[in-house]
Amino acid sequence: MITDTHLYDDARRLVAAASSAGLNLRLLGGIAVFHLCPTARREGMQRSYKDIDFAGRADERVALQNLFTGQGYQPDREFNLLNGANRLIFRSTDGNRHVDVFLDQFRMCHTFDLRERLDLHPLTLAPTDLLLTKLQVVHATENDLRDMFALLSDLPLDDAPGAIDTAHIAHLAARDWGLYRTLTLSLDRLEQWAADRPAYGPYRLPDQIALLRHAIEARPKTMAWKMRARIGDRVRWYDVPEESG
């Protein structure tokens, strides 16, 4: 069985290979949180990792396919044929590693444009975007909650490099009621989940959640947001992600 350390080492190797080839490839998902957050490596907060997730650029699609093939990965030809405009999947030749590459956009329950944000951090997506990819999950798993806990426990909330930019999150939520709804539900769920857990990082989770909530609520909402808010939960406000196999 592949260990988490092996997955982590392979993830960093792939980003380094992409960088050497002049390609934009950044880690996301649990492995990215593992890299950024000591809390994710603490006893009691550790989790399993089965896949490596990346974000890249659609206009580098062919070069990325060649990169992964050259690094010992085989493309999922059927999936890539159908979805290659915005997402690629690769598997190691022994079948133990699964790699998912989102191109230009991260699309799951909600969609985020990453084209102008891939160069904000040298190895991973910016912490702001990593947190968004977790908060946007409508039915968060235990692993999602652990990752959110680690990010908010270890990283400050401000606009400095390497921090979580609450203004950016609030800006997105103020334009999209559906995203706002999911983010606030996720924060409620995280707070309940973490209520009886000890503090690990330098930041108190309740304080971090309160600051993020305040930023989201205080941001003036668009007219489109207000119109959608009138409909509320009567109409589904999120997409249902397709299984990648």
| pLDDT tens digits, 118-145 | 999 999 999 999 999 999 999 999 999 9
Predicted local confidence at residue 2, as pLDDT: 45
pTM, two decimal places: 0.94
Q: Which residues of 209-244 are buried (b: 16+ CB within 10 A; e: fewer)?
A: bebbbebbeebebeeebeebeeeeeeeebbeeeeee
Per-residue model confidence (pLDDT) at position 244: 53
Specify the pLDDT at position 77.
94
pLDDT of residue 50: 86
Residues (pLDDT < 70) of the chain are 1-4, 243-245
pLDDT of residue 4: 63
Residue 3: predicted pLDDT: 55
* Confidence at residue 107, expressed as pLDDT on a 0 to 100 scale: 96
* pLDDT at residue 1, as a whole number: 38
Quote the pLDDT of residue 173.
98
Q: What pLDDT sits at residue 6? A: 85
